[in-house]
Amino acid sequence: MDMLMTMVLRPCPCCRIPTSWEGNAFKPFCSERCRTQDLGAWSSESYRIPEKPQEEDGEGWTGEGEGD
């Protein structure tokens, strides 16, 4: 089972196709095309890093006036 290390497949971040990194000059992408697309997406800001969801009102209840 020592062949496992040479057959590592990882999903291409762009198209999700399982891709071997072995001898892959475009890793983690499957091909130059995907790598170019990904870089292009970043440069054009198509990739939007999801911001942290805003805390909804209600969680901010301080309990003020909670006298007995």
Residues that bind Zn ion (CB under 5 A): 12, 14-15, 30, 34
Question: Secondary structure of 30-50 in the HEC alphabet?
Answer: CCHHHHHHHHHHHHCCCCCCC
Of the pair 15, 24, the CB lying nearest Zn ion is at: 15
Residue 9 Cβ vs Zn ion, minimum distance, rounded to whole Å:
12
Residue 37 Cβ vs Zn ion, minimum distance, rounded to whole Å:
8
> Cα 49 to chain center, whole Å?
9
Of the pair 5, 15, the CB lying nearest Zn ion is at: 15
Q: What is the distance in angstroms between the CA of the first residue and the CA of the last residue of the chain?
A: 69
Of the pair 3, 8, the CB lying nearest Zn ion is at: 8
Both tokens of 35, joined, read 């790598």
Residue 65 Cβ vs Zn ion, minimum distance, rounded to whole Å:
57
Both tokens of 1, joined, read 């089972």
